Amino acid sequence: MKPFSLHIDRNDQRVLVLALIYFAAVYGGSLLAFRDIQATAILPATGIGLAMMFMYGKRIWPAIITGSFVGHAWSFYAFNGDLTWSGVLGSMLLAVGSVMEVMLGYGLLREFFNEKDLFYRAGDTFKFIGIALVTGLAGATMGTLFLGVTDQLQAHVLLSWLLWVLADMVGILLFTPFILSWSRRFIFQWNRPIAMEVTVFALCLISVLVLSSVPYFSPIIGKSFPYLVIPFFLWLAFRFNLQLSISGILLVSLLSVVFTLEGRGPFVMESDHHSLLMLQIFIGVFCISTIVLTATVQERKEAQKSVELFNERLEATVAERTKELHEEIRIRKTAEQNTKVTNKQLRKTNQELDSFVYSVSHDLRAPISSVLGLLNLAKSEKDQKMLQKYLDMMSKSVTQQDLFIKDILNLSRNSRLDLNRNEILFEEMITDIFDQLRYIDHQEVSKVVNVVQKKPFYSDDSRLKVVFNNLISNAIRYHNGKKPKVKVDVTIKPKYAYISIEDNGIGISNEHLNNVFKMFYRATDTNHGSGLGLYIVKETVEKLKGTVKILSKVNKGTTVMLQIPSL
């Protein structure tokens, strides 16, 4: 077993890496310092430490205190050539102050911001600027106090404190947004307008550089530098996200510090203090302006997207409601149309019912009255021939009543019963009907039946029998005194059966053709029928979803044509 065991977990590795980063930030700030006054334009360490703590929490404070102590000790050694005990004490105090400063800024950020998106609303950016100012004031106050205690101050206390406040604040404004924005997912869409803008900007930049090399324009361009960068900042703010905007500000700020340290540029004044103060004001003002403007533009874009999304949803809702309204209108129109059809059918039914009740009461009573009258005559009749005549007349009345009752039953069945789908064999059906009617009126009938049926046909066989029975019996009954001739033609097509029933009877005059399908309508004065036969035919054919048509000439005959669909 080893006497000592060293275990470094993932959190320790993170703290070590962050300590190295914070050390680099502290030492990098010293490289940006004006050596004659031992003051720097930017203190990156506070901004970087605040971003790291905001991302990883308070547990990284050892990284900040370690990196700060080593960084300040190294800076004291680099400036003085050696490291005294006062330098070590000052480094320790500055490290403690750095942790306290970062903890203060972190607490304020957590107090005012619940999310990590600190720079995407204009109101939030002003809060962040206020936090940067408070944190910078606290850090500068502690740092000035600690350096004063350890006798490390090289300039006036108030001036050192002011420069320290601005350097701390600028460091927070530059590096905290830079790190936090780049820690998020980077989204950039390159398109043709941006490519053209980049090209134009590059040409303008090249033109400025060329003019700056000309002795006549060089002093003017140097003094105009703060104004020349304004379009650059505006372009970044309006056209790009915070990552690119803050990166551009950071680049220009670092270049401005480097050029000022070399004694070039518009910020070089008669003293280093004045130069440093002008440089910090420039960086701070443009950093604040760009952050606020970028957040405002981003907020405006989000609002515009929200409005567009709202409009899309509104249009979709309107379209959906319009569709629902059209559907409701369609349903109402359909219901209204159905109501009209129902009302029409109801009126038709009422009219038919009135006619039916009147005719049925008359047609049912007429044979009975005739039979009763004939019975009274037969009771007192002694002549056998007359008695036989009365019996024949009674038989005829009873037969007529029986046919009338059958018609009523057929009409009732057709209206009440649903369709039955059966395979229809027309030739067999028509032959059976002719056989059943061969004794009607004791007439010898000449029949011709032509059926062309190569494919199966399906329909309601009971209803088709009613149709054929009515039409063929009419063709036989209503003859013109000659031998009845009935011709039946049936042709089966894929979807329909085409039927024609032709006779040589008395025919129907044109004035009656339009009314023969009405209930109880009789086109002749004979007493053969009830006036329901053709009405039943029409109602039955319509039930089968077919059509019926009659062609007729007086004393020439009648042709009934049917078109019945296969079910």
Q: How many residues does the chain have?
A: 567
What pairing do the DSSP bridges indicate for beta strands 557-565 and 547-553? antiparallel
| Residue 360 pLDDT greater than 60, yes or no | no
Classify domain 418-565 at the CATH class level.
alpha beta
Spatial neighbors of 349 by CB under 8 A, at least 6 apart, are none
Distance CA 525, CA 543 (A): 30
Tens digits of per-residue pLDDT, 178-218? 888 888 776 666 667 777 777 777 777 677 667 766 777 66
User: Over the stretch 47-105, which tens digit does the pLDDT of each residue have?
Assistant: 888 888 888 888 888 888 888 888 777 777 766 666 667 667 877 888 888 889 888 98
pLDDT at 489: 92
Q: What is the pLDDT of residue 403?
A: 60
Q: How confident is the model at residue 344 (pLDDT cuts 50, 70, 90)?
A: confident
pLDDT of residue 347: 80
Q: What is the per-residue pLDDT for 498?
A: 92
Q: What is the pLDDT of residues 469-490, one digit of tens each?
A: 888 888 887 877 778 888 999 9
Query: Is 83 within 8 Å of 30 (Cβ atoms)?
Result: no
Residue 498 β-bridge partners: 491, 563
Domain ranges of the chain: 418-565
SS (H, E, C) 99-134: HHHHHHHHHHHHHHCCCCCCCCCHHHHHHHHHHHHH
Q: How many C-alpha atoms does 356 have within 13 Å on its Cβ side? A: 15
Pick from 42-56, 213-227, 340-354, 379-393 the range whose average pLDDT is largest: 42-56
At residue 17, does pLDDT exceed 70?
yes
Task: State the alpha helices, DSSP H only, in 380-451.
Answer: 384-416, 426-436
Query: With 0-12 CB in 10 A as exposed, 13-18 as middle and 19+ as buried, what is 10?
Result: exposed
Q: Which of 60, 55, 65 is nearest to 92 (CA)?
A: 65
| Residues forming beta bridges with residue 557, ordered by sequence position | 553
Pick 466 or 527 by higher pLDDT.
466
Instruction: Identify the band that residue 157 occupies on the pLDDT scale cut at 50, 70 and 90.
Output: confident
Q: Which residues contact 5 (CB under 8 A, 6 or more apart)?
A: none
Question: What's the CA gap between 250 and 236, in Å, rounded?
Answer: 12
Supply the pLDDT for residue 7: 43
Is the pLDDT at 338 greater than 80? The verdict is yes
- Say what percent of the chain tops pLDDT 90: 2
